[in-house]
Amino acid sequence: MSVAQLPVDPDALRAEVRGKYRDVALQPAGAHHFHTGRPLAARLGYPNHWLEPLPEAAVESFAGVANPFALRTLEPGERVVDVGSGAGFDTFVAGAQVGEDGAVVGIDMTPEMLDKARRNAVCLGLRNVEFREGLAERIPVADGWADVVISNGVFNLCPDKRAVFDEVYRVLRPGGVLQFADIANGRPIPAGALRDIDLWTG
Amino acid sequence: MLEDIGFVGVKVGDPVDTFGGARGEQKARSFQVYGYPFLARKPGGAPLHR
ipTM: 0.91
Chain A CB within 8 Å of residue B1 CB: yes
Mutant choice from A171, A178, A185, A194 vs B, greatest count of B C-beta within 10 A: A178
Chain A residues with CB-CB distance to B11 below 8 A = 71
The alpha carbon dihedral of A64, A69, A75, A79 has a sign of negative
Closest CB to B35 among A65, A75, A161: A65
DSSP string, B8-36: EEEEE---B-TTTTSTTHHHHHHTTEEEE
pTM of the shown model? 0.93
How far is Cα B43 from Cα B21, in angstroms, rounded to an integer?
A: 40
Alpha-carbon gap: A132 to the closest alpha carbon of chain B (Å): 24
How do residues A55-106 score in pLDDT, each as one tens digit? 999 999 999 999 999 999 999 999 999 999 999 999 999 999 999 999 999 9
Per-residue pLDDT of chain A (202 residues), as tens digits, is 666 677 778 888 888 889 888 888 899 988 888 899 999 999 999 999 999 999 999 999 999 999 999 999 999 999 999 999 999 999 999 999 999 999 999 999 999 999 999 999 999 999 999 999 999 999 999 999 999 999 999 998 888 899 999 999 999 999 999 999 999 988 887 777 777 666 666 6
DSSP string, chain A: --GGGSSS-HHHHHHHHHHHHHHHHH-TTSS-SS--HHHHHHHTT--HHHHTTS-HHHHTT---SS-TTSS----TT-EEEEET-TTSHHHHHHHHHH-TTSEEEEEES-HHHHHHHHHHHHHHT-SSEEEEE-BTTB-SS-TT-EEEEEEES-GGG-S-HHHHHHHHHHHEEEEEEEEEEEEEESSPPPHHHHT-HHHHH-
